Amino acid sequence: MKRRIKLVGILTMFVVQGSTGQAQPAADPPGEIIEELTVIGRYPGPPLWKVTHGEHVLWIFGNLTPLPKRMTWGSQTVEAVIARSAEVILEPSLRVREWNPIKLIKVVRQANRLSKNADDATLATVLPPDLYVRYSALKERYAPRDRDMDELRPGVVAGTLYRRAIDDAGLAINRQVADGINKIARRHDVAVTQSRTDAKPLDLLADLAEVSSAAELACFDTMMKTIETDLDAMRARANAWASGEMESLRRFDYPPAETDCWSAIESAEGLLALIRHADAEWLASAERALGSHLTTFAVLPMREILEADGLLQQLKARGYTVREP
């Protein structure tokens, strides 16, 4: 089990930043304060974006992660739209799995090797002194009892500390919203399309092994900055999403990932190709639905909706009409 957790940590080094980005609030007008609250109970999330092609409509729901831990998601609007839709298109995703037991053993062994630094070096020798001091302070706060952390490579440690930090901030990475949408689709007998790209674990681990030490250290530094400075902004953004406060949501940047972490991903060409393939699958499904169905429901990460070059803007650039809520 510990070795499998290390595998998750290795993948999280890149996937966590790709899926959440760094929450950065825009400058507040004088005297204006973003109210920070703890969301408990049932909340609807944001309203829907409308994409049209003639009489055909694609309704898009913006998903977000992390979200408040104690929040229960539920939206009557989402259920009503799905009930009259011909299809539900889920957000782009990467699925990593292996059914062959012999190959699975190889995956665990390779993940165990990849989770460690070369020549069994410790973080104290791998990290620059100032970065090690910052890491040590965060470890003492969020993972004081983890004795093995210093023996692991920076990418694994970054993913672990990130998850511990958002948990401490009252946030969680989970599939609550995705699972809820799937249940609604099944309840109304609506077809579900997975915009998913499958990857073999051994191939993915081989790609990650190609990431340079410099790129990994730069990404590690970025992750430490996220934990040090952005947890309050991430919590505020999660609360705004849960309550459907669009003006507040628009005040945050939604970068696809920090530049340093994208540089690390790009140095693993196979992983970058998988991510781009999943995005292309979503776009192809959306265009097909807009040409075939009167009503379709789709899901995108919030950043892909609000980014200037996100998937929603790519649909707009292809001639479709987009109406914001």
What tens digit of pLDDT does each residue of 55-93 get?
Answer: 999 999 999 989 998 888 989 999 999 999 999 999 998
Q: Strand pairing partners for 52?
A: 57, 321
Mean pLDDT calculated for residue range 204-214: 83
Residue 50 in any domain: the answer is: yes
Q: Alpha-carbon distance 135 to 260, whole Å?
A: 17
Residue 293 in any domain: the answer is: yes
Q: Alpha-carbon distance 212 to 118, whole Å?
A: 12
Q: Alpha-carbon distance 166 to 68, whole Å?
A: 9
Q: Alpha-carbon distance 296 to 206, whole Å?
A: 38
Residue 35 in any domain: the answer is: no
DSSP 119: G
For the chain, the straight-line distance linking the first and the last C-alpha, in angstroms and rounded, comes to 45
pLDDT digits (tens, 9 = 90+) for 162-177: 999 999 999 998 888 9
- pTM of the full predicted structure? 0.82
DSSP 253: E
Number of domains present in the structure of the chain: 1
- Alpha carbons within 13 A on the beta-carbon side of 162: 33
Residue 32 in any domain: the answer is: no
Residue 15 in any domain: the answer is: yes
pLDDT digits (tens, 9 = 90+) for 23-32: 333 333 333 3
Average pLDDT, the chain: 83
Distances from the Cα of 47 to the Cα of 68, 107, 182, 226, angstroms? 18, 42, 18, 28
Residue 162 in any domain: the answer is: yes
Report which of 179, 135, 175 is spatially closest to residue 155, judged by C-alpha positions.
135
Residue 231 in any domain: the answer is: yes
Residue 268 in any domain: the answer is: yes
Give the contacts of 171 (CB within 8 A, at least 6 positions apart). 66, 67, 68, 69, 234, 235, 238
User: 61 lies in which domain range?
Assistant: 2-26+42-323
Q: Alpha-carbon distance 282 to 92, whole Å?
A: 6
pLDDT digits (tens, 9 = 90+) for 146-203: 888 999 999 889 989 999 999 999 999 888 899 999 999 999 999 999 988 888 888 8
More confident: 200 or 144: 144
- Alpha carbons within 13 A on the beta-carbon side of 182: 9
